[in-house]
Structure 1
Amino acid sequence: MGELAVAYTGVYAVGITAEGIQLYNDLPLLGDKIEYLFGNATGTLHSIQRSLSMEAALNRIGLFDDPEGRMEVYKALYRAYSLLGNVEANAEGQNVVESMVWGPYGYMGMKSFWEGGKLITAWFFEH
């Protein structure tokens, strides 16, 4: 059975599952990128518009800016992070991971860009 709840403490995450409690200590550095993906960007008009398009894409698959939606996006980013050892860096020195994000209404592709364990950006695409 999957996770029932996860609490992020900044250094560790504690997952409570039907099987018991799990401690995760190798977490990606997401910064405030989750805000960008849920339409909460600030700054240039282009950044705000792009952020809103990311939110609309998440909404289409049933993921909204609430604890459940955020958890699914966190899990998708963690899965992408776990694949970093299997991809080579691009010309800018970033590792680019193509993965999937699932919601109750469907799924879509996600491309995430990483420098080490730090998320630089991510975007969604139809798969």
Structure 2
Amino acid sequence: MSTNPPPQVDVADPTINDPRWHRAILIAACIALMAVIASVNGLNVAQPQLALALDASQSTVLWIINIYPITLAALLLPLGAVGDRGGRRPVLLAGLILFGVASVAAGLATSTEVMLAARLLSGVAVR
């Protein structure tokens, strides 16, 4: 139980009941979710090519695929609390930027170690 008072809502704020604002928030959340789902499912399709390109064993390829959702699941609650305390919008934007950087690093990876580190960072960023 928290001893912090709930945040005060400014009733005079016109964006609270604006349907366009609600639609924009929904679209932003959906785009962020699409990136997460694509990252989870994309490597399953590319599994044979990933093993050949990185000269990785099957167990290493499975770690590359699974380190992302494991990290995501492990940090969901702690980083959700960070979002509650620091504000959802700044945490979402920081996570999307970090996710983009990690995705570029994963796309340019030339070794399994770099790919594992990039996928781990992606899992941390997505929360």
Q: Tell me if TM exceeds 0.5.
A: no
Work out which of the two has the higher radius of gyration on C-alpha atoms and give 1 or 2: 2
Q: TM-score, normalised by structure 2?
A: 0.31
Q: TM-score, normalised by structure 1?
A: 0.31
1 or 2, which has the higher helix percentage?
2
